[in-house]
Structure 1
Amino acid sequence: MKRTGFLLPLLFAAPTVGGQAVMEGVMMRDRERLAIAVRKPGGDIHLDVRPWFTLTAAKILRKPFLRGFPILLETLVNGIKALNFSAQMAVEEDGDEGEIGPWAMGLTLAASIGFALLLFVVTPHLFSLGMKAAGLSGGVEALSFHVWDGLFKMLLFLGYILAISYLPDVRRVFEYHGAEHKVIWAYEQGAELSPAGARGFSRLHPRCGTAFLLFVLAISIVLYAFLIPWLLTFYAPATGWIKQAYIVALKLALMAPVSAVAYEVIKVAGKFHTSLVCRLISAPGLLMQLLTTKEPDDRQIEVALAALRGAVDRQPAS
């Protein structure tokens, strides 16, 4: 099975549980630990429970607007670990469950982040420069430049999701993504934790990381439009391409406050998901989940339930 989808959406932590779809399985987490349930080639469910790697042990890093970026990083680390573990389990035939080494883990994380930044930060900036050269946009100081930049980001994001959705392995991951959401809904609503009890719930969830990514894109348009021109008044290289590289570096640095604001928005939207305002805020993310989730079968829901039980210290299903 191909090891694809390392940039698949992640579900951020809630006061109860959160999770992520992996290869032929689901990862669920609470505040202190995570559980990865994977359907092995033979049909059995393998459950692995381990501590949640955290970057927010210091109390100050759990404060609103300070927690977003470190939580994003720790979610990436734990998510990639879970994906690699599930990929190993999916192809396992000899019973060897060796863990990925720290160097390989670091390279995978660096490659994932680098690919995302190249695709969603550098490439839209270059496209926007092309619009400026064509006379369809102002310079980096103009709002039109950042509107084009944001539009290209959205198109690239949609194109990426659509492209990977045609891969059979990724479609399976999207089905497990739907199973994860159904089980979390069942848990949060106090329903019976069984395939029959979870089946009727929506495969869409307002706290999904898909919505987080959309908020990052939307907030970055606004912040870049106002902050980049202001920051350039303090220092701006005179040479053309050096100046553009400097602006891209500024955008990368601003990802920390952008992700911090986006995280707080998604937390509020998830907590008060029944209010009209939060339903409107959540609507774009829920629409996007029509692409990133698929209806699961009962066997996939069973795997998600096993992961949930492992995460919240319930007796795992046999």
Structure 2
Amino acid sequence: MKPEDLPLAVGGQAVLEGVMMRSPHAMAIAVRRPDGTVILKDEAYHSLAERYPILKRAFLRGPVILIEAMITGVKALTFSAQAALQEEDGDQTEEPLGWGSITLTLGAAFLMAFLFFGFLPHWLSGKAGYLVGRTLTPADFTFHAVDGLIKGAFLVLYIWGISFFPDIRRVFQYHGAEHKSICTFEAGEELTVANTRRHPTAHARCGTSFILVVLLVSILIFTVFFPLFPALTHRGLANNFLQVIIKVGLMFPIAAVSYEIIRWGGKHSR
């Protein structure tokens, strides 16, 4: 059975000691407590696209889905942290995560991403001109290619670094289990341990695949965009900040294109 022939689309993510799975209209989280029991949480899910159907159209749905995934992901991680760290004999009252906490968490994540995957690679790409013997500016394809390579290297180093934490390694394992479950579902098989073991831990619609596609698409879009506005390609610290801010704004069309590529890849991966 092909993914597009399934009665519903299912995605998810790994959380602390568990997984979160989401369909178009529902979300469920399963987390293993320290005593070995599993706590389940399920709730209805309502996408913004349900209220505004125009957001379901190609190249509009990508950014919306990405933002919604970030919000639900933070909520799921917070719930899993509360459940996974709960003492065996302690019955904690679940407190819903408020919008203030979500905004603070996403804001801190955005700031770190802006620094390590935005400004720093951009600044280093300009300095890379000394290695190739000529000045590199955002008007050059080489500049954006180097920028993409640096971001990719930072991403690999980041994943490698956090993999040394036992709790994060467990999250990676649950990530693979989540992929196996989705592969089993998309194959039209009964969701049993025996069936899921036969499927790979990789999946075409994985968030990691999305990040790699975003890197490639961003190189192409930045290479086309900046030469159209020569005044934006001047060197200098202030201009670097301006250029990175413009890149952040361009992430919406980049996410839109990248999502459609991932969606197409998911449909044709089997």
Q: Same fold (TM over 0.5)?
A: yes
2:68 corresponds in structure 1 to 74
Residues 21, 238 of structure 1: CA spacing in aligned structure 2 closer, same or farther, 3 A cutoff? closer
Q: Which has the higher contact order (CA 8 A, sep 6+)?
A: 1
2:245 corresponds in structure 1 to 249
Query: Which of residues 225, 228, 236 is equivalent to 2:226?
Result: 228
1:110 aligns with 2:107: yes
Contact kept? 2:16, 2:171, Cα under 8 Å: yes
1:34 corresponds in structure 2 to 27
1:55 corresponds in structure 2 to 48
1:168 aligns with 2:166: yes
Residues 138, 237 of structure 1: CA spacing in aligned structure 2 closer, same or farther, 3 A cutoff? closer
Q: Gaps (5+ residues) in structure 1?
A: 1-13, 275-318
Contact kept? 1:185, 1:201, Cα under 8 Å: yes
Residues 210, 238 of structure 1: CA spacing in aligned structure 2 closer, same or farther, 3 A cutoff? closer
User: 2 CA distance for matches of 1:178 and 1:132?
Assistant: 40
Cα-to-partner distance string for 1:6-48 (whole Å, 9 max, x where unaligned): xxxxxxxx95210100000000010011100001111111110
After TM superposition, which residue ranges in structure 1, 4 or more long, deviate above 6 angstroms?
none
Residues 239, 156 of structure 1: CA spacing in aligned structure 2 closer, same or farther, 3 A cutoff? closer
Contact kept? 2:55, 2:64, Cα under 8 Å: yes
Query: Which of residues 166, 180, 183 is equivalent to 1:182?
Result: 180
TM-fit CA distance, 1:136: 5.1
User: 2 CA distance for matches of 1:238 and 1:143?
Assistant: 15
TM-fit CA distance, 1:238: 6.8
Contact kept? 1:53, 1:78, Cα under 8 Å: no
User: 2 CA distance for matches of 1:175 and 1:88?
Assistant: 20
User: 2 CA distance for matches of 1:125 and 1:266?
Assistant: 26
Report 1:282-301 matches (<5 A).
none
Contact kept? 1:128, 1:137, Cα under 8 Å: no
1:273 corresponds in structure 2 to 269
Cα-to-partner distance string for 1:151-176 (whole Å, 9 max, x where unaligned): 11111111111111121111000110
Aligned residues: 259
Q: Percent identity?
A: 42
1:46 corresponds in structure 2 to 39
**Matching residue's letter, 1:241:** L
**Matching residue's letter, 1:51:** A
